[in-house]
Amino acid sequence: MNKKHRNFSKSVTIINELGLHARAAARIAELAVKAKETIWIIKDGEKIDAASIIDILTLGCSKGAAITFTSDNESDFEIINNIVTLTKKGFGEQ
């Protein structure tokens, strides 16, 4: 449990023309679902579950939007790093 005390978060900007669309959201959720605990996405003070495509879509992240991934569990940091890398690469679309 003591692992939970450290909070870890990383911010990234959406570069895809169409924003964080369904396919991109699916890629994120696919990774996030493997986390030990919930990975959260924060945008403009709104916090949603990264494992739900629908949740991600309802955030409405268009191109240029800044979002933050965060988790309380250290063992999920790698997953966050992977998601951030993927997002930075524009989900392989660019």
Partner 1 sequence: MSDQELKKETRLAGIGASPGICIGKAYLVHKEGVDIVEKYFIDRENLEREIKRFKTAVKNVTDELREIIENVPEDVRQHTGILETHVALLKDKMLYDKTIETIKNEKVNAEWALKKVVSGIKVLFQDISDSYLKARSDDITHVSDRIIRFLIGTEEINIGSIDKRVILVAKDLSPADTSQIQLDKVMGFLTDRGGKASHTSIIARTLEVPAVLGLGNATQVINNDDRIIIDGTTGIVIIHPTDKTLDEYIELKAGFEERKASLSRGSHLKAETLDGLTLQIMGNIELPEEVVSVLDHGGEGIGLYRTEFQYLARNGFPVEDELFDKYKDVVEVMGMRPVTIRTLDINGDKAITNSGGSDEANPALGLRAIRYCLKRPDIFRTQLKAILRAAAFGNVRILIPMISSIDEVRETKRLLNESADLLAKEGKAYNKKIGFGIMIEVPSAVILADEMAKEVDFFSIGTNDLIQYTLAIDRGNREVSNLYHPFHPAILRMIKHVTDAGKANGIGVFVCGEMAGDPITAVILLGLGIDELSMNPQSIPAVKNMIRSLRVEDAKLLVREALRQTTTLDVIKLVEASLGETLGR
Task: Confirm or reject binding of residue 78 to partner 1 (CB under 8 A).
Answer: no
Nearer to partner 1, 23 or 36 (CB): 23
Is 85 within 8 Å of 40 (Cβ atoms)? no
| Piece of 1-9, 48-56, 69-77, 79-87 that binds partner 1 (CB under 8 A) | 48-56
Locate 44 and state its tokens. Answer: 């403009």
Q: How far is CA 57 from CA 18, 54, 77, in A?
A: 12, 5, 23
Nearer to partner 1, 61 or 79 (CB): 61
Nearer to partner 1, 3 or 46 (CB): 46
Pinpoint the alpha helices (H) of 1-94.
22-32, 53-59, 77-88
Q: Which residues bind partner 1 (CB under 8 A)?
A: 18-23, 25-26, 29-30, 49, 51-55, 57-58, 60-62
